[in-house]
Amino acid sequence: MRYWEVSQKVQEKEELKRAKEKEMLSLLDATEPFKELSKAQRKELLLSCEWIQLSSKVTLFDVGDVADAIYIVISGSVKSIKKSNGAERVFLKGV
């Protein structure tokens, strides 16, 4: 691979990243409570995000875990389930 080919691929990745950031800023602009933030604050929030992708049936966090993050679901769905004595109770299902 030549230098210009590598450079072009890096540029394409950066363009994709900028497009994704623009899309996310638009989403935050229209979503409570984020739309109450200034544009600069929303951009700062976006830049501090860590993007994760989860497979089906993966536990994101458990009852009693320290709350150290906020999760924004971009696509897909989530369920909030409490297990007790082998039974499951669904508290939230959506998106």
- Digit-coded pLDDT (tens) for 49-84: 888 888 888 888 888 889 888 888 878 888 877 777
Write b or e for each residue in 17-29: b if 16 or more Cβ atoms lie within 10 A of its Cβ, otherwise e: eeeeeeebbeebe
Indicate the pLDDT class of residue 94, thresholds 50, 70 and 90.
Answer: low
Q: What does the alpha-carbon distance between residue 44 and residue 56 come to, in Å, rounded to a whole number?
A: 30
Domain enclosing residue 18, as ranges: 3-94
**pTM score, whole prediction:** 0.57
Number of domains in the chain: 1
What proportion of the chain, given as a percentage, has pLDDT over 90? 4
